[in-house]
Structure 1
């Protein structure tokens, strides 16, 4: 296996799948004694250009972010459309979905990971960058998300 595929080892984010973003974000806010963040909806497919298992999808999610020092907790409530979020929530229930790392050179990192039997599950665009979920579950026991900011 290639060494230091990502180019860093700093976890930026932990993504958690939920059925009810309002209820769960309030629970986190109450637990930590902080304000509940507003949730936002990801962009529509024409902007996000989301692909799941190499096929375009209309999938969207509600997102709420908690900045916890150097780490961000991301709560994710998926819609019904095909996505890694929906599949994982249906199969495993609520809980951790991914850990994320900020990287440079998305295409090269995805290609390198795929050469190391860690295939691309889903990718898309967001305002200011792009993401890719890599199937690292066999080796690392969780999905890795690559984030590349412009």
Structure 2
């Protein structure tokens, strides 16, 4: 793991919570994007030393919608920046970690992503986020 890339926060409505981040906390919106493969609308917020990723479900079957239904809005995942995501997945599996994604999927900003199952990581949902093939880090 190279670094913490971002913290994912599940929200019911980006439009509703964005004023808190921008006006109350004084943080800057970097980008809005839909990630259909994950069933979410995403807002990246510049948190200074780390990005915050607000995740709004696009439909009721989205994993984020199910998370909000079960646990409510709040911290959803912690993402680690990695290089060579396929090799990281293999290394983690060799160490007994169950992966939600056995192969990487396209994520926000063009990154390739894969999630570890929280049962293998003491209740925390971790994301591997590989931006190696992205020419510019948009988010």
Normalising by the residue count of structure 2, what TM-score does the alignment of the two structures yield? 0.78
> 1:15 touches 1:74 (CA, 8 Å); kept in 2?
yes
1:131 matched residue in structure 2: 113
Distance 2:129 2:113 in 1: 5
Distance 2:118 2:51 in 1: 20
Alignment of 1:11 onto 2:1: no
- The Cα shift of 1:84 comes to 3.1
- The Cα shift of 1:40 comes to 1.9
User: Which among 13, 32, 37 is matched to residue 39 of structure 1?
Assistant: 32
Compared CA separation, residues 35 and 110, structure 1 to 2 (3 A): closer
- The Cα shift of 1:87 comes to 2.7
> 1:84 touches 1:121 (CA, 8 Å); kept in 2?
no
2:58 matched residue in structure 1: 79
Cα deviation 1:53-102 (Å, max 9, x = unaligned):
xxxxxx42111111112200000001225443233222211101111111
1:55 matched residue in structure 2: none
Where does structure 1 lack aligned partners over 5 or more consecutive residues?
1-5, 45-49, 51-58
1:145 matched residue in structure 2: 127
Normalising by the residue count of structure 1, what TM-score does the alignment of the two structures yield? 0.73
User: Which among 77, 87, 99 is matched to residue 78 of structure 2?
Assistant: 99
Compared CA separation, residues 102 and 28, structure 1 to 2 (3 A): same
Cα deviation 1:104-139 (Å, max 9, x = unaligned):
111111122223343222442145431111113453
Compared CA separation, residues 70 and 125, structure 1 to 2 (3 A): same
2:48 matched residue in structure 1: 69
